[in-house]
Each structure stands twice: as structure tokens, then as C-alpha cells.
């Protein structure tokens, strides 16, 4: 039997995974000193045991990343036999290459530090799969598309279409559509004239159809909101929005609900729209 330790970003998710696997839920104390420094103490007996650490590198990214490293390091010092690190949301994943000379390759730096204290690594819908190449330990990206598909499969949808807001998310849209057994497409921009851009599906007509727009993450939501507006203008009946990682900066949720009938996300990052748990995905991988 193993022990699952919850970082402060994934307390409920870690509890679900522990229950799924019939693992012990690790006992620990995490708090902050008045000056903001982290205090962490592991109360469970871990020597010679398999330990699973679940922690997303979500906002505040820096302190949550440091908390992850502190958990790993303490488990190693206490004699854990194996440390499996699960980072449902891989913060800094968008900084996977240098766009300008001298920029920090943050995605690579994160990987190098995680693997120093870990035997295996799992994440979910990482921004770029090539980030896993930075790891020298076994590392795997888990796909949440089937979970999004299962959620919408319970809806009684009329001629649904799953859309990606751009070509980069087409694989996710295809994965969701396979579960629902419906069409999928992606949105592309066409410049009609100086200052005038049209956004429409690459192949399909959306008139009188119900649309599910999916993306790996929603941050400020600008791209998603623009896509919804355009799809509505083209005669879509109802629009639903789903993402894997609800980063959600500003008042994006209020804006999305102005245009969409439903907005949903997984709990890789806890939020007010995190109605889909990724615990089955993680549990299956750990088995």
C-alpha cells in the first residue's frame, strides 16, 4: 500500500485518488510564518513506502512550486522507498522555448528540479508534449479529453459539434467528440480586409447546431469569448464551454456565462467551475 500526500492546491483531488487506490492519505502540516515563509511537517511514517505527491503548479505558481519541492525533499530525507510526483497542472508550461535571447526556459527548469527528488512523473494535458523530453525519469502526459466527453454525453444535445478555438487544440476536440460520437472541427481566422477578421469553423456549418468549445486551458478567456461571439453570429443554437485547466484570471467566468449556456472544467486547479474530477485518470495511471 502507498501513501498519497496532498499539496495545498490539490487537497480534495488527492483524497479522491487515495480512496480510489485504497491508499493511505498522508498526514502533514502546511502553514505560513508571519513573514510568508513555508512551514511543512510530515506526520506519517513513510520509511520504505511508496509515496505519491499531488500538487499543481497553479497561482501563486512560485510558492506552490516551492511547496512541491519541499514535500519531495522531506519525503526523500525521511526514507521513502519511491516518490511518484503528480502535477495535474504544469505551471510555466507555456515558457517551453526562448522567444527572445536571454529568456529563462522555465518549463525546463521546473522539470529539472522535480526529477531530482522523484522516481516517476505524471501530468495532465501539458501545454506541449515535448516538455516531457526535459525529464530523465519516466514521465507521462495523461489525456483528460474522455472525461470532458463523458460529462457532455449526459446532455441531450441536438446535432452537436465539438470545436477547438484554434488548430492547436484540435486533438483535444477530436478526443471529446469520439466519446460523444459527433463531429469536430477547429476555428480559423480569415482576414477579409484591413482590420476585418472572420472566425469560423474550418469545414463545418454551425447553424442551428449545439456547440461545445474545448481548450486545454482558459486564462484571460479573450480567445474563447471572441470565438463564442463569432459562432453565435453564425447561427449556433446553444454554446457550451469546457477546459481542462481553469487558470481563470480577471472576471473571465462572468464574461463566459454571458454568452455560454454552461462552462465547465476539471479540478486540476480548484475553481467554481471544476465539476469534473481527474482522479480516475490519475488512479488508473498509478495502478
Residues annotated catalytic, as ranges: 189
| Nearby residues of 184 by Cβ (< 8 Å), 6 or more positions away | 161, 162, 163, 164, 170, 173, 174, 176, 177
Q: Are 158 and 237 in contact (CB under 8 A)?
A: yes
| Placement of cell 472525461 in the chain | 147
Other beta carbons within 10 Å of 125:
29
Residue 199 belongs to what H/E stretch? strand 196-201
Task: Please state, as a whole number, how many other Cβ atoms lie within 10 Å of the Cβ of residue 107.
Answer: 22
> Taking Cα atoms as reference points, which of 10, 8, 28 lies closest to residue 78?
28
What residues contact residue 74 under an 8 Å CB cut-off, 6+ apart? 40, 42
Query: What is the number of other CB atoms lying within 10 angstroms of the CB of residue 22?
Result: 9
Cell numbers describing residue 219:
486564462
Answer yes or no: are the C-beta atoms of 30 and 39 closer than 8 Å: yes
- Alpha helices (H) along 57-187: 61-77, 106-115, 145-153, 170-180
Neighbours of 17 (CB within 10 A): 26
Amino acid at each position: 500500500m502507498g501513501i498519497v500526500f496532498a499539496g495545498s492546491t490539490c487537497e480534495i483531488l488527492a483524497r479522491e485518488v487515495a480512496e480510489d487506490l485504497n491508499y493511505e492519505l498522508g498526514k502533514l502540516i502546511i502553514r505560513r510564518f508571519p513573514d510568508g515563509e513555508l512551514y511543512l511537517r510530515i506526520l506519517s511514517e513513510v520509511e520504505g513506502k511508496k509515496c505519491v505527491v499531488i500538487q499543481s503548479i497553479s497561482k501563486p505558481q512560485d510558492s506552490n512550486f516551492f511547496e512541491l519541492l519541499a514535500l519531495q525533499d522531506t519525503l526523500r530525507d525521511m526514507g521513502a522507498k519511491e516518490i511518484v510526483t503528480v502535477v495535474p497542472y504544469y505551471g510555466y508550461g507555456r515558457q517551453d522555448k526562448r522567444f527572445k535571447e536571454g529568456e529563462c526556459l522555465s518549463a525546463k527548469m521546473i522539470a529539472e528540479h522535480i526529477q531530482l527528488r522523484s522516481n516517476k512523473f505524471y501530468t495532465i494535458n501539458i501545454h506541449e508534449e515535448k516538455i516531457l523530453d526535459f525529464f530523465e525519469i519516466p514521465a507521462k502526459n495523461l489525456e483528460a479529453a474522455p472525461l470532458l466527453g463523458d460529462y457532455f454525453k449526459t446532455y441531450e444535445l441536438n446535432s452537436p459539434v465539438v470545436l477547438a478555438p484554434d488548430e492547436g487544440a484540435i486533438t483535444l476536440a477530436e478526443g471529446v467528440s469520439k466519446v460523444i460520437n459527433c463531429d469536430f472541427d477547429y476555428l480559423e481566422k480569415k482576414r477579409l480586409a484591413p482590420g476585418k477578421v472572420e472566425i469560423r469553423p474550418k469545414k463545418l456549418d454551425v447553424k442551428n447546431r449545439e456547440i461545445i468549445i474545448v481548450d486545454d486551458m482558459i486564462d484571460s478567456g479573450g480567445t474563447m469569448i471572441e470565438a463564442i461571439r463569432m459562432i453565435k453570429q453564425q447561427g449556433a443554437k446553444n454554446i457550451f464551454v469546457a477546459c481542462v485547466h481553469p487558470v481563470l484570471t480577471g472576471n473571465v467566468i462572468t464574461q463566459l456565462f454571458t454568452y455560454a449556456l454552461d462552462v465547465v472544467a476539471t479540478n486540476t486547479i480548484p475553481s467554481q467551475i471544476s465539476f469534473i474530477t481527474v482522479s480516475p485518470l490519475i488512479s488508473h495511471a498509478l495502478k
